[in-house]
Amino acid sequence: MSVIFEKSVRGRRGVDLPKCDVPSKGHIDEAYRRGTSLDLCELSELDVVRHFTALSRKNFGVDNGFYPLGSCTMKYNPKALEAVARLEGFTDLHPFMPQLRHGGMLVQGALRVLYELERLLAEITGMDAVTLQPLAGAHGELTGMMLIAAYHRDKGNKKTEVLIPDEAHGTNPSSAAIGGYAVRAVPTDKKTGTLDLEALEQMVGEQTAAVMLTNPSTLGIFNSDIARIVEIAHEHDAQVYYDGANLNAILGRFRPGDAGFDVVHMNLHKTFATPHGGGGPGAGPVGVKKHLVDYMPISRVVKRDDNTYALDYDYPKSIGYIATFYGNFMVCLRAYAYILMLGASGLREASGHAVLNANYLMNRLKDKFKVAVPRTCMHEFVLSAEAEAEKGVHATDIAKALIDEGFHPPTIYFPLIVKEALMIEPTESESKETLDAFVDAMLKISAQVSACPEVLTSAPKSTPVNRPDEVKAARDMDVAWPRDNHEQ
Amino acid sequence: MSYIPHTDEQREEMLRTCGVESISELFHDIPAELAPESFNIPEGKSEIEVLSYFEMLAEQNYSHLTNFVGGGFYDHFIPSAVDALVGRSEFYTAYTPYQPEVSQGTLQAIYEYQTDICRLTDMDLANASLYDGGTALYEACQMALRATGRERVILDGGVNPVYRKILTSYTANLDIQFTISPVSHGHSDRDKIFDAIDTDTAAVILQNPSFFGIIEDHSDIVQHCHDNGVLVIQSVYPTAMAMLKTPGEIGVDIAVGEGQSLGIPLAFGGPYLGFMATTKKLARRMPGRVVGRTVDRDGREAFVLTLQAREQHIRREKATSNICTNQGLCALRAHIYLSLLGKQGLLDVAQLCIDKAAYARERLDMIPGVEVMKASPTFNEFTVSLPMDAGEVVGAMVEKGFAPGLPLGRFYPGMENFLLVAVTEKRTKHEIGMLAETLEAVLCQ
């Protein structure tokens, strides 16, 4: 399908703007003017509508079908959340409005959203306070590292490194490094699929600023030793960080705060059903315990005695601004609506059925595929296609074959510690019929591994393209359409 | 409503397959002593109840004021087709395009968006988006520090003061020194910047138009920086790029900016769009996702995520950035907006902004006691001094239905009487006239 710039026709217009109604003519001196041609495309509104409608048809979203992308929690995004996010009282609200005199009173509805959502998230995770400012999960991780660094600086602690399990998401070590720390990987006990406690005890010390954990882990296993791990870290005044990427498994069943975690981040676009947007925007609120509250980013939302809400900037120990305004507000708004609709029992049911769906799939697949850690899983589990790979069919081939069966593939080749990994997270939204159809497809693929592997290694056949050449892409670096190329 | 489709019968059957009797049994790994101490969340509500609650909250916001507040975030017109197309759930319910075969829509759109940003800025390549203009500036800063191996950054006083605060927050735990070079009569002070440059300076950060709305030609600063091995980062307002000298034209190394004005609602601060573009030379140091054009197995044109060797899922602690999820849907919005507006449309928006702002300048300048900061060209925003505290004036204007601008005292101590006024293509002659009349009346009280 042509790139939009190829469709451009000189002189064509897509939007019509009002005639200038003021007598003034603004002038910009030649010295400040652009000397190059702007070269944006020139199309009619219908041209643009057809182009993007055609592009949308080459995409697969949760609304198209089953999307068991492990670790990403591709649950259904209820349409009511979109209706809430279309209200003009929110969409048309300028973020500097609170900076006007008595400006807080001009945005009471918005501040209430922030305040109430912070309180709900604090209760869900068992933390003392929450900031909604981080704009994505990894941004939450970095904020958490900054909070921990501020805490240690304030206490005069000399801390240099962060311990992170080897199965962790890549963002964990990256966030810790950008936060100014050296990173050391703690091994996973291959049998239990959980952190190697002995190794941790040997590695932790006075230099340890923090231990970052994901629980359930990326293997989908809940670590029962969690309280002990927290204890070991705290003995050295290391802070314990909870990566909430997998929070969907434990809603109403476990709260990181109760287990002693000091910092938690949540991914609203995973657990709280806000759309993933083709790669964002998400939101990564961070919750902390009391001893870290003073360091939280500003502004903070407070409720005053007269039940009005205000933004407060007067926190001298704060790490300062981590985002320009108050977080990805419209994402927070949707998450708040979602929590209100589900309520306490709805959230518990969500985690319950997410875990039920994952265990059901795992049990139905375990005879034909190797399960990386064969024990009760939480919201996701990891298969290893090691045996299939020996027959020439790799995890990527299984993923591509699933596309031809009408499904979005699972996450593949992650976690890194499992060979030929296929990480499957069905979420609670999916029905038994959908899960059964996915099992049928997987069993069919399993049979094809021996019978007709070429069907798998040549898949997908049903898509507009088949296995784009990534090496060529990196080598050629064609990352913008050249000017004058095929343009009229 | 919990959006769970299971019937009781199905649940029973699934539990049997799992070899357990209840869902709770599946959670046996959670020790009993770690059961939640509380879970005080209100019981669920119906869609009707939730919608009416949010309608009530929305009404409590003064979004209807006639808006002259900018400060880098503007009340621009968004064509209806933008919402219609971004609202296609094939786009918004998908995630990061890890599987290119089922994501060609997202991938091609990002490739086209990258092209838009390159053409707006005249830079060689752009990434698929960063969180917002402020964090994009921080990422640019990190990029410059790594590229030069130096530890100092000079920040021009014309850069958005909130961005300045963001930069200092992020670097508190790192060995990075910031020097702020105050503006002189609203302009970047060449002498101060050049004096501040030393052999450990990695980059100079500039903004065009400046926070005060002033248009700059930074060519001379770029030249001087390059002579001293210093990189230049410029934060730009994309709408103004239709008309103003581009970062690429003057040799800027990293161009960043806030993309909100490209079809993204004000939405109380987010989600917005941080854009970043750079030169071929710095390509592999750029953070964030990048989409490239290639061919598939059968030789067909195809789009994929590329340059992933820089990214955190491969490089972990050695990655150029920790950014994973970005602002994909906002980038799509910006691309659809720019496709609809097109070359002439964006120029028209820019010209309307300039003309209307010029009219507002004239009208406000006629009010006794009000003085427009002159001697400097402006785009759609300008600074005025008032005969009294700007905050108080704004308070009185709000009661009359106007958000007349942003008082600067909060950001610049000593500038309590100054107001930053923004005018977009949405404001009419009548509204501008009423702004002037109301301001005059308020000042006479």
Domain range summary for chain B, segments of one domain joined by +: 66-76+343-444, 80-337
Q: Do A38 and B119 touch (CB under 8 A)?
A: yes
Which chain A positions have a beta carbon within 8 Å of B42's beta carbon? 340, 343-344
Q: Do B4 and A224 touch (CB under 8 A)?
A: no
How far is A383 from A366, CA to CA, in rounded Å? 9
How far is B190 from B185, CA to CA, in rounded Å? 12
Which chain A positions have a beta carbon within 8 Å of B92's beta carbon? 61, 77, 275-278
State residue B375's pLDDT score: 67
Which chain B positions have a beta carbon within 8 Å of A401's beta carbon? none
Token pair of A85 as six digits: 């996010």
Q: Return the CATH number of the domain spanning residue range B66-76+343-444.
A: 3.90.1150.10
Q: Do B217 and A61 touch (CB under 8 A)?
A: no
Interface test with B, best of A59, A112, A133 (most B CBs within 10 A): A59
The chain A residue lying nearest B118, using CA atoms, is A480
pLDDT per position as a tens digit, B294-318: 999 999 999 999 988 767 777 777 7
Segments of chain B scoring below 70 in pLDDT: 310, 375
pLDDT per position as a tens digit, B377-398: 999 999 999 999 999 999 999 9
Interface test with A, best of B16, B46, B61, B282 (most A CBs within 10 A): B61
State residue B323's pLDDT score: 80
- Of B256, B290, B300, B26, the C-alpha closest to B142 is B256
How far is B187 from B164, CA to CA, in rounded Å? 17
Q: Do A60 and B108 touch (CB under 8 A)?
A: no
Q: Return the CATH number of the domain spanning residue range A345-472.
A: 3.90.1150.10
How far is B46 from B44, CA to CA, in rounded Å? 7
pLDDT per position as a tens digit, A295-328: 999 999 999 999 999 999 999 999 999 999 999 9
How far is A327 from A338, CA to CA, in rounded Å? 18
Burial class (CB in 10 A: 0-12, 13-18, 19+), A17: middle
Q: Could you please state the CATH topology (level 3) that the domain comprising A83-340 is classified under.
A: Aspartate Aminotransferase; domain 2 (3.40.640)
State residue A2's pLDDT score: 95
pLDDT per position as a tens digit, B163-207: 999 999 988 877 889 999 999 888 999 999 999 999 999 999 999
State residue A486's pLDDT score: 42
Q: How many CB pairs under 8 A join A and B?
A: 720
Token pair of A167 as six digits: 């199965």
Interface test with A, best of B23, B47, B99, B341 (most A CBs within 10 A): B99
In B186-300 the beta strands, taken as DSSP E runs, fall at: 201-208, 231-236, 254-258, 274-278, 290-295
Which chain B positions have a beta carbon within 8 Å of A1's beta carbon? 104, 108
Work out the minimum CA distance from A179 to partner chain B, whole angstroms.
7
Token pair of B61 as six digits: 């916001």
Segments of chain A scoring below 50 in pLDDT: 485-488
Q: Do A61 and B90 touch (CB under 8 A)?
A: yes
- Of A64, A62, A49, A6, the C-alpha closest to A462 is A64
Q: Is the Cβ–Cβ distance between A428 and A353 less than 8 Å?
A: yes
Q: In this complex, which of A319, A349, A473 lies closest to B306 when CB atoms are compared?
A: A473
Is the confidence metric ipTM above 0.95 for this complex? yes
State residue A487's pLDDT score: 41
Work out the minimum CA distance from A236 to partner chain B, whole angstroms.
20
Q: Which CATH class is domain B80-337?
A: alpha beta
Which chain A positions have a beta carbon within 8 Å of B84's beta carbon? 49
Q: In this complex, which of B39, B91, B314 lies closest to A278 when CB atoms are compared?
A: B91
State residue A24's pLDDT score: 81
In B127-245 the beta strands, taken as DSSP E runs, fall at: 152-156, 177-181, 201-208, 231-236
Q: Do A280 and B327 touch (CB under 8 A)?
A: yes
- Those of residues 269-298 in B touching chain A at CB distance below 8 A are 269-272, 280, 283, 289-298
Contacts of A262 (CB under 8 A, 6+ apart): A148, A239, A240, A241, A288, A289, A291, A292
Q: How many residues does chain A have?
A: 488
Q: Do B54 and A21 touch (CB under 8 A)?
A: no
Q: In this complex, which of A97, A340, A474 lies closest to B69 when CB atoms are compared?
A: A97
- Of B207, B206, B181, B177, the C-alpha closest to B195 is B181
Work out the minimum CA distance from B6 to partner chain A, whole angstroms.
6
Burial class (CB in 10 A: 0-12, 13-18, 19+), A140: buried
State residue A482's pLDDT score: 94
Partner A contacted by B219 (CB < 8 A): no
Enumerate the domain spans of chain A: 1-15+36-58, 83-340, 345-472
State residue B157's pLDDT score: 95
